Structure 1
Amino acid sequence: MDNKRRFALVGTGNRGTTMWGRELLAGWRGFVDLVAIADTNPLRAERARTMIASNAPIYGDVDAMLAEAQPDLVIVCTPDDTHDEIVVKALESGADVITEKPMATTVDKIRRILDAEKRTGRRVDVSFNYRFAPTAARIKQLLDAGEIGRVTSVDFHWYLDTEHGADYFRRWHAYAERSGSLFVHKATHHFDLLNWYLDSEPDTVSAFADLQMYGRKGPFRGPRCKLCPHKQDCDFFLDLAADPFLDALYEQPSAIDGYFRDGCVFRENIDIPDTMVANLRYRNDVHVSYSLNTFQPIEGHHIAFNGTKGRIELRQYEDQPWETPPEDVILLIRNFAKGGPAFERITVPHSPGGHYGGDDRLRNMILKPGMTDPLGQRAGARAGALSVLCGIAALESARSGKLVRLPELMPELFEGEVRPFAHTEAPATIGGRR
């Protein structure tokens, strides 16, 4: 195939090596050709290249890679706070970009990316694979079809278990300067789903957030799991040597960059919350109640859409200490049946692959020519910006105790009339009382 996309992979951690490396070449080799790998850690890059089964040249410098390899597509899988620098350089070199979420971590970084995309005429895609999961697509179809009328509110609660949730506190994600907090790094997925489901823009956010389990709340701490004197007593002990994949990518390479994959989850300088709640008001007057918890015995989420004609509800389990069938069940409940069913149980089988097939569908959409997008699942830089702004606003609200309005954070991203709703103004209740 002569029109293959010539792509460069920047960042060879877990995600880059698997989804955008080994898996991408295994399933989409007819559409892409890996022409360069870039990482600041040469040993990690070499080991990732072996795992990917590629002979692409390795670069320690993005500028040199762009100049010499001249890719037409750059896939960015580096720590969140570095995305903007790499994305902008790639766009300015004439390449399109796929970036892992979140697209950026601050308003200024968002602005840099949007300005560069507009200036260069190239395209940024954000890896929002949850949009492509079969169950999410089915819910979107039901909402767009008006099955529950106009949506008025959403209950959305995400649960990370003690394996997945704790992992964010072992790594660089545990510092707000690097990740923007989990309101940005993790919840960007969830805020994007809301923005996409509701086909609207978030306007106002209020939030609470605390550190309840990790960091300084821990009973003891050590330099890292491998060297910790408390490993026998710690529920969160990670034996990196027991995972050959992670051990190869991170243990010996840590001697070069000092990055330990098994950092102590109780480090006292961890500065992100682990328990978060937020309320969002959308410009179409939908109200959302959202929460994110990071040390649960289950993994998955609950979401319910309340509308003028009924309710759509999903409880999705991703990991839990009991068996569940390989499918999701969406509940469609109508207020007034009027001769039809008052209740439908809609079964959506899980598809193979990451995120129940969402990873594969995302790669198809971006990389296969001629793909149609009837549900608007492909997410560009504006979608990436809106989801990050939700997280930035939530963290600011949790820290300040005030309502935060997204159009005030980044006015140029919003069009049309802006609600005159000040940070310190309390919303009126029915009857005009406060």
Structure 2
Amino acid sequence: MLAAGTAVQAAAPLSFSFMGRKLKVALVGTGVRGTSFWGKRLVEVYSDSLEFVGLCDINPGRLAYAKKYMGVKCDTYTDFDTMIGENKPDLVIVTTTDATHHEYIIRGLELGCDVLTEKPLTTDEVKCQQILDAERKYDRKVIVGFNYRWSPYNTKVKELLQKGTIGKVTSVDFHWYLNTHHGASYFRRWHGQREMGGTLWVHKSTHHFDLLNWWLDSDPYEVFAYGDLERYGSANDFRGNNCRDCAHTANCEFHWDITKSKRDMALYVNNEKHDGYVRDNCLFRDQINIYDKMSAQVKYANNVVVNYSLTTYSPFEGWRVAFNGTEGRIEAWLDIPYHQKEVLSQEELHALEMSQGGKEVAKYEPVVVHKIWNKHETIQVPYERGGHGGGDKRLHDKIFKNPGAKDPFDRAAGVRDGAMSILIGVAARKSIESGEPIRIAELTDLEPRAKRLI
């Protein structure tokens, strides 16, 4: 256990005191991510070391579905405190809507539990500070489930940078492309409202900013950003109630038939009556108030400058990153269709990424290293399609199978990591609104450091 007052100074170690018994786990938030990645998969793979002692959600219908889908025998609750009081879990897993993460993280800490939260840590600087204060006060651990760090492909990039392959890194170009299947889906869901998800600067880009912080081994210092809503929401000239009940189905290129998904029907549609949440909302409803194009410049405490962008309506899903250094350049990319002969549809590619199965090594992908005054070298890196590039299962193994194993790449993510990733997104929002650069140190009491604390 970390000493009081120091918990945010380093990434929380992923270790628990099992005390000769199974780890007692409680889950709050039984949506698709909670019931699958943090639910069913844990039951199927780690039941020898953990057991679910409670499931909690505001929607009793989803709770009933979750219990059956996950294959657990624990009780279900609509009241969080009652669940914790009756079961005394060791670990609480938080997979609720982003804007409520802080409530369950803080209350879990108060009630004596360690907490593992889905990304993002939270949605604004005020809630972030409350979490930081609570972890210090209650002397428990907060872990953030950053799975992208654990992908072998991303780890190879980290290894090359860590070895000083291109000398001192000076600047980075990082661009992420969401396709019209995956990107559009955020605007159908609660993520399309900033009061729920903090905009995609926070909900989605927290993944990318965490990778940058980890790759560069430094904290962000200042952010300047642009953003707008031009493709979805009120930018369109027609809209409907939802995709099941819409007069524009024939001429809407984004129409999505949720009735074709048995899981979505059972988890969401059949339980709308309990809380009113509609999973196949119209992409063009007036309530959407987030950005669909985003661009930022991030200056780091070690003087690296990053140019970042996120596109939500690309014809393909993928990303590119390039690191410029004093001794050369590293380029990496995934799923750029012009570089490969991909036969899968964009919808199939996303389904495979989110799946938890797949072969140990599905293919190889290149990373290019180009040293100054030399020819470039192409390194072929083993790459797995399923489970976020193989990151999901490695993150799970670290937490629930090999918690004490040393990691030369420091992939364990604690509350400071979670904070620094969302604060870039929060600063970007504030920069767009004010037209001014925003310093990270102005947001919470965390002081950016040239070298990350681990």
Distance 1:207 1:30, change over 3 A: same
Which moved further from structure 2: 365-374 or 210-219? 365-374
Shift of 1:184: 0.6
The within-5 A match list for 1:215-364 is 215-317=233-335, 322-323=341-342, 326-337=363-374, 342-351=375-384, 353-364=386-397
Name the structure 2 match of 1:5.
23
RCO greater where, 1 or 2, for CA within 8 Å and sep 6 or more? 2
Whether 1:394 aligns to 2:428 is yes
Shift of 1:213: 0.5
Shift of 1:268: 1.2
Paired with 1:135 and 1:236, the residues of 2 have a C-alpha distance of 32
Paired with 1:353 and 1:5, the residues of 2 have a C-alpha distance of 27
In the alignment, is the contact (CA less than 8 A) between 2:220 and 2:448 conserved in 1? no
Name the structure 2 match of 1:86.
104
Paired with 1:185 and 1:200, the residues of 2 have a C-alpha distance of 21
> Counterpart amino acid of 2:439?
R
The within-5 A match list for 1:31-430 is 31-317=49-335, 322-323=341-342, 326-337=363-374, 342-351=375-384, 353-368=386-401, 369-410=403-444, 412-414=445-447
SS class of match (1:177): helix
> Counterpart amino acid of 1:350?
Y
| Seq. identity, % | 46
CA-to-aligned-CA distance 1:124-160 (integer Å, 9 cap, x gap): 1101100001011111000000000000000000000
Matched pairs, number = 412
TM-score (normalizing by structure 2): 0.88
Shift of 1:219: 2.7
SS class of match (1:157): strand
> Counterpart amino acid of 2:395?
L
Shift of 1:318: 7.7
Shift of 1:370: 2.3
Paired with 1:400 and 1:331, the residues of 2 have a C-alpha distance of 39
> Counterpart amino acid of 2:141?
R
Distance 1:95 1:243, change over 3 A: same
Which moved further from structure 2: 321-330 or 190-199? 321-330
Paired with 2:396 and 2:252, the residues of 1 have a C-alpha distance of 39
Which moved further from structure 2: 365-374 or 132-141? 365-374
Structure 1 unmatched ranges of 5 or more? 418-434
Give every structure 1 segment of 4 or more consecutive aligned residues whose post-TM-superposition deviation is greater than 6 Å. 318-321
In the alignment, is the contact (CA less than 8 A) between 1:353 and 1:360 conserved in 2? no
Name the structure 2 match of 1:425.
none
Paired with 1:213 and 1:45, the residues of 2 have a C-alpha distance of 35
Paired with 1:385 and 1:211, the residues of 2 have a C-alpha distance of 26
Shift of 1:328: 1.8
CA-to-aligned-CA distance 1:276-303 (integer Å, 9 cap, x gap): 0000000111000000000111111000
In the alignment, is the contact (CA less than 8 A) between 1:8 and 1:73 conserved in 2? yes
Distance 1:228 1:416, change over 3 A: closer
Paired with 2:200 and 2:155, the residues of 1 have a C-alpha distance of 25
CA-to-aligned-CA distance 1:349-368 (integer Å, 9 cap, x gap): 22364012100111111222
Paired with 1:318 and 1:371, the residues of 2 have a C-alpha distance of 35
CA-to-aligned-CA distance 1:25-82 (integer Å, 9 cap, x gap): 1111122111110011011111111111111110001011110111000000000000
CA-to-aligned-CA distance 1:212-234 (integer Å, 9 cap, x gap): 10001113100111111111211
In the alignment, is the contact (CA less than 8 A) between 1:114 and 1:381 conserved in 2? yes
In the alignment, is the contact (CA less than 8 A) between 2:293 and 2:310 conserved in 1? yes
Paired with 1:58 and 1:395, the residues of 2 have a C-alpha distance of 37
Structure 2 unmatched ranges of 5 or more? 1-17, 344-361
In the alignment, is the contact (CA less than 8 A) between 2:301 and 2:448 conserved in 1? no
CA-to-aligned-CA distance 1:311-331 (integer Å, 9 cap, x gap): 110120188995178332101
Paired with 2:294 and 2:431, the residues of 1 have a C-alpha distance of 11
Paired with 1:354 and 1:318, the residues of 2 have a C-alpha distance of 19
Paired with 2:102 and 2:337, the residues of 1 have a C-alpha distance of 33
